[in-house]
Amino acid sequence: MKINILGSAGSILNQFIAEIRDVQIQSDSPRFRQNLERMGQVFAYEISKTLEYSTREVVTPFGTAEIPVLKNPPVLATIMRAGLPIHSGLMNYFDCAGSAFISAYRKVYKDGHFKIHINYVSCPDLGGEVLILSDALLATGYSMELCYRELLTYGQPAHTHIVTVLSSAEGIDHLKKNLNTSQITFWTGAVDEEMTAQAYLVPGLGDAGDLAFGKKGD
């Protein structure tokens, strides 16, 4: 599995990372969502460089031009709800893409441990397609692995790109151990070395879903 950490090089992406982490800016939910969407667009552009293209003849007012255009659009899958703004950013660039949505939640038990449950999936046929699976954060990596394996029940993609704006080092290690295949490329903005006992990234940014869409009820 190839790992790409886009924030390790200087680019406008780091401005967006700074803003989604900043507690003074996080209170502005529309801006938080917009920054996630912008980051989705950056990832879309970078991933587009790895896709297949075919030459198309385009008629202009003064002649014709031969232009390499995307051969086949990818399928965009996201984990609700925090992944939705990133999905929108990816969709802004891959506007002919099919979409898949996964509803997954963390059930916390009295002793403090938790399990990830999937209660809804909507997905087209993935056989032979390029899949882009996105979520806001990668913490332990268990939910991402579970969601990826669930999507495989809809067909084997030709290649899968996993996208998260922030990741933990532990989560990346988990994916490398359990999804170690050349058919997966992992993309993230930055990597945090620590996590809390509740699996929040440190320094992280908090709960991305709550920051984007408001706090959930108990």
For the record, the structure tokens of 45 come out as: 């552009």
* Any domain includes 73: no
Is residue 76 within 8 A of residue 99, CB to CB? The reply is yes
Runs of H (alpha helix) within 49-97 = 84-93
Tell me the residue length of the chain.
Answer: 218
Return the pLDDT at 113. Answer: 55
* Any domain includes 111: yes
Band (pLDDT 50/70/90 cuts) for residue 112 is: low
* Any domain includes 160: yes
- SS3 for 147? helix
Mean of the per-residue pLDDT values of the chain:
93
Return the pLDDT at 109. Answer: 53
Return the pLDDT at 38. Answer: 98
Our count of domains for the chain comes to: 1
Return the pLDDT at 108. Answer: 58
Tokens 């056989």 sit on residue: 127
| Statement: residue 12 has pLDDT above 70 | yes
Is residue 171 within 8 A of residue 138, CB to CB? The reply is yes
Residues 6+ apart with CB under 8 A from 114: 106, 107, 108, 199
Helix and strand numbers, DSSP H then E, in the chain? 7, 11
| Statement: residue 116 has pLDDT above 90 | no
| Statement: residue 118 has pLDDT above 90 | no
**Rounded CA separation 179/10 (Å):** 29
Predicted TM-score of the model (pTM): 0.92
Domain containing residue 127:
2-50+84-197
* Any domain includes 208: no
Q: pLDDT for 64-106, tens place per residue? A: 999 999 999 999 999 988 999 999 999 999 999 999 999 977 6
Average pLDDT, integer, range 130-146: 95
* Any domain includes 99: yes
Higher pLDDT, 200 or 164: 164
Residue 107 β-bridge partners: 115
For the record, the structure tokens of 5 come out as: 């950490």
Is residue 110 within 8 A of residue 181, CB to CB? The reply is no
Return the pLDDT at 110. Answer: 56
- SS3 for 53? strand
Residue 115: CATH number of its domain: 3.40.50.2020
Q: pLDDT for 146-195, tens place per residue? A: 999 999 999 999 999 999 999 999 999 999 999 988 999 999 999 999 99
* Any domain includes 66: no
* Any domain includes 177: yes
Average pLDDT, integer, range 143-148: 93
| Statement: residue 210 has pLDDT above 70 | yes
* Any domain includes 56: no
